[in-house]
Structure 1
Amino acid sequence: MDLFLVPNNVENAVFVSSSGDPCYEIITSKTSRGEGDLLTSEIQRIVAAGDPYLAEPEDGDEDEEEERFMVVAEVDWKSWSSPTVVRSPVMLAGGRTRSRRECGSMKATEFLFKQKRFSRSRCFRDGGETYCWKHVANGFLLLHKLTKTEIARCTVALVTHGVFAGEKKLRLTIHASVYKVNVDMIVLSFIILEKKRRDAGGDGTRLAAHDEDPQGDGC
């Protein structure tokens, strides 16, 4: 499965399939606070009617348009007074939470962690397995930690097929695999790393000052 970031703005964009169907949307808003502005991104999966993961409406809310979206996560990006925090139902067991009221919450450095102090890889766990994002030339590569099976890859290159043929796009390719990794987790973890990479002008493996683990065991 290929997902293309349109436009090339990780704060406000849509991940679109090679056939032109919107799959995920990123919406970022800014809230003014006494200690500075808080930047929050909401990541939604766009689902079709009948999808088994279709979000159930909140009590009293049966708007059909709202039912087409499932909130994957909300991310409060690092500010001067607080670290980056991720709130997401897919962090709960099985990734099948239907209500946005039921959300796991953790620091980005706990969700995307280092296994070794000086490692450049960022890892997350899903379904009892560990997956690690590695920085490679022109993008990121997601591997199963033990078997090194390639799960996903991000590249920026000229598209050769589909509705974006002939255009240069950021493409997130997610491979079919024996490992049943939650696609929402792949997309969420990638968005966090790519946002941090662009903010830092680097490879995204350093999650900024407030996200640092003072013991050196985390991020």
Structure 2
Amino acid sequence: MRLYLVPNDPERTTLVSANGVAHYQVTTTKTHRLAPTVLHIRRPADSEDDSFVADVEWKRFGAHPTVRTSVLDGMMQELQVRQLLYKLGKHFSPTRYFLGNDDEEYKWKPEKGSGHVLTQLKSGQPVARFTQELVKEGFFRGERKWGLQIAPTTLDIDMIVLTFIIMEKRRRDRVAADGMRNQERDEDPVEGGCEGGMGN
């Protein structure tokens, strides 16, 4: 199964299959300037209850983000993102683990030159991969698209999509933050040189 991101933005996108059918929609809202940003994941359905997959609230001022969802065990619950997607060991790593609805443990790990790869921990078998490809058939034929390639699995697709969206948003946030830090470092010597010249 392939689900293409249209557009390629984990905060505002529609996940569309190769035949052009929308399977999930991701939107992001903010009620006012000081309010937390909330990411909504929905699937097409006749009612809001049936369409609901998850809401992720990105807290302000360093507080841990929370997720509200029923994909874990069928019961609506709210928990911190770090409880859903946890890390193993004390070393810093962007790799995160989670327990699937099939009671198997899974791992999302960034792959150099591509996006994230999801594997089942016990078997090591890849379950999903975020990558770019030249689409050879279907609705997007001839276009280069970023999308999720999902292998046959006992893991709920809702859970794959939810955890992927969180992982990809966080990855892009890190890339943006690193870019800003690099830009500031590039500007510092110039500013320092000007100040030094003016002081002489």
Q: TM-score range by the shorter chain?
A: 0.7 to 0.9
Deviation at 1:108, TM superposition (A): 0.8
Greater RCO (Cα-Cα under 8 Å, separation 6 or more) = 1
User: Where do 1:61-210 residues align within 5 Å?
Assistant: 65-66=46-47, 69-80=50-61, 82-91=63-72, 93=73, 95=74, 97=75, 103-118=76-91, 119-126=93-100, 127-137=102-112, 138-177=114-153, 180-201=154-175
The 3 A distance-change label for structure 1 pair 122 and 158 is same
Compare CA radii of gyration and give the structure with the larger one. 2
**Gaps (5+ residues) in structure 1?**
48-64, 98-102, 203-219
Partner secondary structure for residue 124 of structure 1:
strand
Residues 122-169 of structure 1, C-alpha deviation per residue, up to 9 Å, x if partnerless? Answer: 111012110001110211110011110111111023222221122121
Aligned match for 1:37, one of 32, 35, 44: 35
TM-score by length of 1: 0.73
**Gaps (5+ residues) in structure 2?**
177-200
TM-score by length of 2: 0.80
Higher helix content, 1 or 2: 2
Identity %: 36
Runs ≥4 residues deviating over 4 A:
none
- Distance in 2 (CA, whole Å) between partners of 1:89 and 1:68 is 11
User: Once superposed, what is the RMSD of the aligned Cα atoms?
Assistant: 1.8
The 3 A distance-change label for structure 1 pair 31 and 67 is closer
- Give the count of matched residue pairs: 173
Q: Is the 8 A contact 1:46 1:68 kept in 2?
A: no
